[in-house]
Amino acid sequence: MNKETVEFVDREFLADGDYVSPGFEVIKPDKCFPNMVVADPSACTWPYIRSTIPHNWYADKRQPFAGFVSRDEAHILYNTALKFRGKRALEIGCWYGWSACHLALAGVELDVIDPRLAEADVYESVTDSLQSAGVLDTVNLISGYSPEKVEELAEKLQCKWSLFFIDGSHDAPCPLNDAIICEQLAETDALILFHDLNSPDVAQGLDYLRQKGWKTMIYQTMQIMGVAWRGNIEPVQHQPDPKVNWYLPEHLQNYSVSELSIDVVNEFLEILAAVRPYTLLGEIRLFSLYSLAKKICLEDIPGNFVECGSYKGGAAALLASVIKRYSLRPRRLYACDTFEGMPEPTEVDISNGISANLTGFGVGTLKAPIRENIQSICQLLKVQDIVVPVKGLFAQTLPQYKSEIGNIAFLHADGDWYESTMDIFNTLYDSIVPNGMIQVDDYGHWDGCKKALHDFERLRGEQFNLRRIDYTGVWFQKGEKQLLN
């Protein structure tokens, strides 16, 4: 990713007319698309354009009659693709590369098929944008028509794909044929996204997958997106813009719609605004913590909460806020950290082939004195009576506090390093009650964390049913035994 042209932004800095669902990481690669403009959807002659939806309709000013996916739709793509980092993804139909850029920025190995890539000016424009975003090396651009070119590519590469985005020809039978070939070439754990489901022809593809036994759902967006998935993977949760009077066309009336309650959204955003300066966790992982913690409280799973790796205390305060609002029994949250910086990593603690001490997050970094940080945010949210800061190395403090902590309903393991993660699980795992929740923050980022989790699995003879949150975070429930592929 080119940080000079791709920005991570807070949603309050989005332009008027843009919307992104709460619980999503927000990025803006707009600088990589110098010809992108806000166009008038009523000028589009396609009969299924939803021109009455008051969201910005982006287009390329050189051909403004066809739009890009909206800001919200682009973030469904990006946040979904975060779950598939390092895996193969296939996009059918990329136009000028706006959607491909969002997919590639999430870290997938992306193959793109579009007949317009045979046009020199289009190919140059797409490659320039992807190069500007710093993702061109991870994208394979192929000129051709689906489904023939998809089948040819699969044979050539001897591969299947885990993630698909179907946004090619919208005229029957093309969407159905695209769905059929993607279903044939999908991995066991796979997810397929559709754009422009306002068209009945496009919906034929989603209908087919549902008939084949895939789980399906609708995202209420400007042009309506759909998702089909199977295996050990889950789609992102999406909240439609509450300011819009949404409707579904008749051919989609029997589909469920991803929709969080407004109360949930407002509550999460309120807590998020308070804790944001006190945490490095992205919004999608914070929303996972919020959701899992609320589930534990409402289901009255017994036990305290433990966070190992608290830094400034934002995530701990978020969890404590959920306890305060929803717990049916007294609970405490034990926030464990050195609060004096990261301990020394080992040789297995690397990220993208770079040793931890060379990444800028090595020994001594992330120092966060208790008084100025975790105590401050806990006082702000009035949860200081729930949170117990535990200062010191996990190897020393966790055995000392294990008896006081007692049963654990929720464990947030954010130890980064191999030895820290092993200390967490070796000491606390047996205290986690059946059906207790565990969220691990650094599984996908630090090799040592991933190795520790799987080493512990082998040590205990278990297989954890890991569910991906984004590129690095995973969660599982104690008692489920299925290995993440």
Cβ atoms of 242 and 257 closer than 8 Å? no
pLDDT at 485: 43
Label residue 461 left, alpha or beta by phi (over 0 means left) and psi (-120 to 50 means alpha): left
Backbone angles phi, psi at 220, to 5 degrees: -80, 100
Supply 438's token pair.
């565990």
Among 304, 368, 309, 359, residue whose Cα is nearest residue 330:
304
Cβ atoms of 466 and 443 closer than 8 Å? yes
pLDDT at 12: 77
Q: Burial letters for 33-60: b for 16+ Cβ neighbours within 10 Å, e otherwise? A: beebebbebeebeeebbbeebebbbbbb
Strand order in the sheet with 36-39: 36-39, 57-60, 63-67
Q: What is the pLDDT of residues 70-84, one digit of tens each?
A: 999 999 999 999 999
Q: Burial letters for 225-263: b for 16+ Cβ neighbours within 10 Å, e otherwise? A: bbbbbbbebebbbbbbbeeeeeeeeebbeebeebbbeee
pLDDT at 11: 79
Among 466, 429, 441, 276, residue whose Cα is nearest residue 361:
441
Distance (Å, whole) CA 325 – CA 335: 19
Helix (H) / strand (E) element for 291: namely helix 283-298
Q: What is the pLDDT of residues 380-401, one digit of tens each?
A: 999 999 999 999 999 999 999 9
pLDDT at 484: 44
pLDDT at 482: 57
Distance (Å, whole) CA 333 – CA 305: 5
Entry pTM: 0.91
Burial class (CB in 10 A: 0-12, 13-18, 19+), 180: middle
Supply 253's token pair.
């009336």
Cβ atoms of 379 and 389 closer than 8 Å? no
Backbone angles phi, psi at 389, to 5 degrees: -70, 135
pLDDT at 13: 82
pLDDT at 483: 43
Distance (Å, whole) CA 26 – CA 232: 25
Stretches where the chain sits below pLDDT 70 are 481-485
pLDDT at 68: 95
CA 239 to chain centre: 14
